[in-house]
């Protein structure tokens, strides 16, 4: 449940509407910035990072992305969750010549390099366990997202 | 034989490389091989490669290196973990 403490309900958005990656990042950043989670530099840096090192993941029938950037742009640690109204195109983490239509985005705001392995392991459980991924993508409201993250245990 | 060094890299050296590092620590312990793992940013790999034997990156590899380099997205997505374990071990058990 370590990962659950990173999920801020004010940074969860189910049914987010965005036409493209730029709009999506702008919207997610605005919320995080308003609430003091990130610095202004976070937005240009996360866009830059995504263009060089993309974070789209295609896992069986599902596609998600885990955009993140350098720790110095993060004020307070968080994981922002957006379930998209309609998919947004991301390039694949392992191959930036390929794209995937992303259905949900986990934006990682991390600033402590070594103390968060438990959080990351639990996060990987959200990504790697198909049942969890399905619950994430089909979440109807914020409560569904919160419940999902509270249910994660490291096996 | 000198202890082998593996560079574990991602874009920021903070999120996905931590996941990969954790996985590799378990792998080398299970296989009982002596390897030093160094976590770094992919941008640092070029200057560190001369003292290392293998690069395992969670991201795409932006350039060619003088030592073998593997992409470890499997450890993030969970798909193809065993194959990647085997591939990494093939470089380490020489």
Domain borders along chain B are: 4-92
User: CA of A122: which chain B residue's CA is closest?
Assistant: B19
Domain that residue A21 falls in: 2-151
Per-residue pLDDT 10s for chain A (155 aa) are 588 899 999 999 999 999 999 999 999 999 999 999 999 999 999 999 999 889 999 998 899 999 998 889 999 999 999 999 999 999 999 888 999 999 999 999 988 866 577 888 888 888 989 999 999 999 999 999 999 999 987 75
Which of 30-69 (B) contact A at CB < 8 A? 39, 42, 58-60, 62
Q: Which among B7, B10, B21, B72 is annotated as catalytic?
A: B10
CATH for A60: 3.40.930.10
Q: What percent of chain B has pLDDT over 70?
A: 96
Q: What is the mean pLDDT of residues B46-55?
A: 94
Whole-number Å distance between alpha carbons of A8 and A62: 24
- How confident is the model at residue B18, as a pLDDT? 87
Beta strands A56-59 and B35-41 are: unpaired
Whole-number Å distance between alpha carbons of B42 and B61: 8
Q: Does B79 touch chain A (CB under 8 A)?
A: yes
Q: What percent of chain B has pLDDT over 90?
A: 61
- How confident is the model at residue A61, as a pLDDT? 87
Instruction: Give Dmax over CA atoms of chain B in angstroms.
Output: 34
Which of 88-117 (A) contact B at CB < 8 A? 92-96, 108, 110-111, 113-114, 116-117
How far does the CA of residue B82 sit from the closest CA of chain A (Å)? Answer: 14
Domain B4-92 adopts which CATH fold? Rossmann fold (3.40.50)
Whole-number Å distance between alpha carbons of A10 and A15: 14
Q: Does A59 touch chain B (CB under 8 A)?
A: yes
A118 vs B74, higher pLDDT: B74
CB contact set of A7 (below 8 Å; sequence gap of 6+): A78, A79, A81, A145, A146, A149
ipTM > 0.85 for the complex: no
- How confident is the model at residue A118, as a pLDDT? 80
Q: Does A128 touch chain B (CB under 8 A)?
A: yes
Q: Active site includes B10?
A: yes
Listed residue (B72, B84, B86, B81) closest to B7, CA to CA: B72
Helix/strand/coil (H/E/C) assignment for every residue in chain A: CHHHHHEEEEEEEEEECCCCHHHHHHHHHHHHHHCCCECCCHHHHHHHHHHHCCCEEEECCEEEECCECCHHHECCCEEEEEEEEEEEEEEECCCCCCEEEEEEEEEEECCCCCCCHHHHHHHHHHHHCHHHHHHHHCCCCHHHHHHHHHHCCCC
How far does the CA of residue B4 sit from the closest CA of chain A (Å)? Answer: 22
**Mean pLDDT for chain B overall:** 89
Domain count, chain A: 1
CA B81 to chain centre: 13
- How confident is the model at residue B1, as a pLDDT? 55
pLDDT interval class at B11 (50, 70, 90): confident
Closest partner residue to A57 among B22, B39, B77, by Cβ? B77
Determine the Cα angle at B36 with ends B34 and B42, to 5°: 145
């Amino acid at each position: 449940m370590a990962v659950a403490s990173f999920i801020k309900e004010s940074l969860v958005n189910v049914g987010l509407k965005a036409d493209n990656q730029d709009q999506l990042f702008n919207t997610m950043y605005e919320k995080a910035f308003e609430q003091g989670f990130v610095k202004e530099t976070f937005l240009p840096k996360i866009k830059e990072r995504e263009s060089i090192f993309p974070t789209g993941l295609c896992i069986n029938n599902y596609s998600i992305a885990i955009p993140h950037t350098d720790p110095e742009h993060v004020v307070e640690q968080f994981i922002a969750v957006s379930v998209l109204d309609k998919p947004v195109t991301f390039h694949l983490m392992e191959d930036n010549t390929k794209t995937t239509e992303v259905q949900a985005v986990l934006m990682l705001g991390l600033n402590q390099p070594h103390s968060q392995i438990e959080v990351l392991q639990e996060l990987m459980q959200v990504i790697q366990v198909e049942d969890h991924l399905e619950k994430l993508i089909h979440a109807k409201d914020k409560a569904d997202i919160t419940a999902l993250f509270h249910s994660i245990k490291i096996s | 034989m000198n202890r082998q060094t593996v560079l574990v890299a991602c874009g920021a050296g903070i999120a996905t490389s931590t996941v990969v590092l954790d996985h590799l620590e378990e792998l080398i312990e299970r296989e009982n091989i002596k390897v030093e793992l160094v976590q770094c940013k992919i941008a640092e790999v070029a200057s560190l490669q001369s003292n290392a034997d293998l690069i395992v990156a969670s991201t795409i590899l932006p350039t060619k290196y003088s030592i073998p380099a593997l992409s470890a997205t499997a450890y993030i997505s969970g798909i193809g973990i065993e194959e990647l374990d085997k591939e990494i071990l093939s470089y380490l058990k020489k």
